[in-house]
Amino acid sequence: MVKVNLLLNGDVSVRELYVPFAVGDAVKLLGAGVAKTAYAVKIDGVVRDLRTVIDKDGAEVNVELLTFDVDEGRRAYNHTASHILAQAVKRLYPDVKLAIGPAIKDGFYYDFDVVTPFTTEQLTEIEAEMKKIVKENLPIEQYYLPPTEALNALAEQGEPYKVELAKEHADKGEDISFYKQGEFVDLCAGPHVAATGVIKAFKLTSVTGAYWRGDEHNKMLSRIYGTAFPKQSLLDEHLAKIEEAKKRDHRKIGAELGLFTILDEGPGFPFFLPDGMTLKTKLIDYWREIHAANDYKEISTPIMLNRSLWERSGHWEHYKDNMYATKIDEVDFAVKPMNCPGSILVYANKPHSYRELPLRYAELGLVHRHEKSGALHGLMRVRCFTQDDAHIFLAKDQIKDEIKRIVTIIDKFYNVFGFKYSIELSTMPDDHMGDIADWEQAENGLKDALDDLGLKYEINAGDGAFYGPKIDFHLEDCIGRTWQCGTIQLDFQLPERFELEYTGADGAKHRPVMIHRVVFGSVERFIGILTEHFAGAFPLWLSPKQVQIIPITDRTNEYAAKLLTALETAGIRADIDTRNEKMNLKIREAQLAKIPYMFVVGDEEERDNTIAVRTRTGTGGGKFALADIVEKISAEIRDKG
């Protein structure tokens, strides 16, 4: 007999059961309605199928129900949908070779080796076959084969990609896991739901090319993406979000508003156009303002440094494939992929006392990283970007207070843009470096800081960097997508590698702790996120052009020029549209350009020394005296409106 603790949404229900029993049967004891919502389980912390059998007596076992609201439950659901996709494709196109089909965030994909790549038009046919498979409600069964038998079976099926994957397990002497549904069998570790009929609503969303194992030297495969949900209403909501995301695509808006471009002469290297540079500059100005007020000292370090530095920092060994290298005077140099070694050299440039700590260096450093061409995506994934780094050198007993200070700064930044955010604390990984005692002190410092500030956070156990624990900030935009931007990382390793020191109150030499910290993460990527969050309608203080002056006739051009001078004198970014076009067209184009304010001026406005004000939102307009509207706009800018 086993005591079974069934956990769901923090509630625990205890049952005592005789072995053997399938975990799914234990879940049914909570009621048919509850059982239907569980797509997998976590048995003593390990994710497993509902069909898993408990066959050994023991004191107790913890069984957590994984619903669609839980990452692991959602992944099991979508992973099953990917197998249904593969089964449908094999039914329709028997000669297709199967590669991989994992669950991913918000859905799944499957890669196929096919003579002629799939097209969008074929997705409808494949979806129809998937619906047939769901209607058949085929049981999904897991079984294992010894390595040799598994390899022979896959070879007989003519699945070379599966053979390659299976060999990796066979080399370890492991039995190979398979899943079967009807006539379809796939190499897979699972978990999966109990039957194909569990998958209620799905949609194939796109088809694209993908290299086998992400290696551009390998064959190009045909990848079909999809998503699945337990209810049609949830699927409809998700598809509506996808359509909204397409409208907000920063690449499309960036081109329409003239913010940035990426040219064939520099793939992955963005060109900022005048209006985009204004936006970038205003973000950086605000960054500098906040950091100056919080006792950060801005530095600038070289974009290229020699190999010996990168060897000492560990980048040459662990990160070289992502670095751009060259030779100068027969010596290897590398363009920096990160700013931290430069900050360390600045710290090491002179002796330091405990009285200087925490010592806060901030740097807007241009870094370069080699990204594969297939991974490049507008401003979100580039090969060069401005990282808004700060590196803080401090004593161990200062960790808690400094973390609180940093979190407060990051909170201030994100609130300005209206972002909600969640916090994740990642703890010591298995391959960590440094003493356990140091890790415990560091992790406790991070936890205590977050607790003191009353902030909620999730523990991401074992996912810290090898050199220290970290806090990550995940922003939520206006359509519910999340973006990982800010991070705070504690580092014991680089101060050790570079033998950094400070003189303590006791007169002895001590090793400082180093904090790596970013707010934007990448200025370029943050601009991409902001563009999609605001759909290009940036807050007034960030808008490249804040006012468009629209004369109704040429007679009022001189009055318009007077208004422009007054606005520019007040520090308001403005322009005049003097084209020989109709007023309504000019207004419409200003609205499409997302310009916050339009000043429409004609004979009446010039005579009365007033302005007819329109806004892009349609509210807050009307007739204004020049001084009044200038003060209104100036106050909105000061308030970061």
CATH number, domain of 51, equals 3.10.20.30
Pairing between β-strand 547-551 and β-strand 597-601 as defined by DSSP bridges: parallel
Pairing between β-strand 547-551 and β-strand 574-576 as defined by DSSP bridges: parallel
Is 87 found in the same domain as 168? yes
Give me the torsion for CA of 287, 293, 295, 301, rounded to 10°.
Answer: 30
The pLDDT value given to residue 185: 95
The pLDDT value given to residue 17: 83
Is 225 found in the same domain as 84? yes
Residue 509 lies in a domain: yes
Is 36 found in the same domain as 157? no
Is 522 found in the same domain as 408? yes
Pairing between β-strand 60-66 and β-strand 2-8 as defined by DSSP bridges: parallel
| 631: helix, strand or coil | helix
Q: Which domain holds residue 575?
A: 547-638
Is 343 found in the same domain as 443? yes
Q: What is the mean pLDDT of each run of 10 residues along the chain (641 residues)?
A: 83 83 86 88 89 82 90 95 98 96 94 95 97 97 92 92 89 88 94 95 95 89 97 95 92 96 94 97 96 96 95 87 94 94 96 97 96 88 95 94 94 92 90 80 89 92 84 88 90 90 96 95 95 96 97 93 96 94 92 96 93 90 94 95 78
Give the chain's domain count. Answer: 5
* Residues designated catalytic: 340, 369, 387, 389, 391, 470, 516
Residue 491 lies in a domain: yes
Is 341 found in the same domain as 329? no
Is 523 found in the same domain as 453? yes
The pLDDT value given to residue 169: 80
Q: Where a domain ends, among 67, 83, 101?
A: 67
Is 229 found in the same domain as 183? yes
Residue 223 lies in a domain: yes
For the chain, what is the total number of helices (H) and then of strands (E)? 20, 35
Residue 112 lies in a domain: yes
Question: How far is the C-alpha of 221 from the C-alpha of 239, rounded, in Å?
Answer: 25
Query: Are the C-beta atoms of residues 420 and 468 closer than 8 Å to each other?
Result: no
Is 168 found in the same domain as 266? no
The pLDDT value given to residue 463: 86
Is 491 found in the same domain as 375? yes
Residue 248 lies in a domain: no
The pLDDT value given to residue 375: 84
The pLDDT value given to residue 126: 97
Residue 15 lies in a domain: yes
Residue 247 lies in a domain: no
Rounded to the nearest 5 degrees, what angle is found at the Cα of 456, between the Cα atoms of 447 and 9?
115
Is 524 found in the same domain as 412? yes
Sequence-distant (6+) residues with CB within 8 A of 156 are: none
Residue 378 lies in a domain: yes
Q: Where a domain ends, among 21, 42, 67?
A: 67
The pLDDT value given to residue 13: 85
Q: Where a domain ends, among 236, 252, 273?
A: 236
The pLDDT value given to residue 151: 92
CATH code at 280? 3.30.930.10
The pLDDT value given to residue 306: 95
Is 564 found in the same domain as 416? no
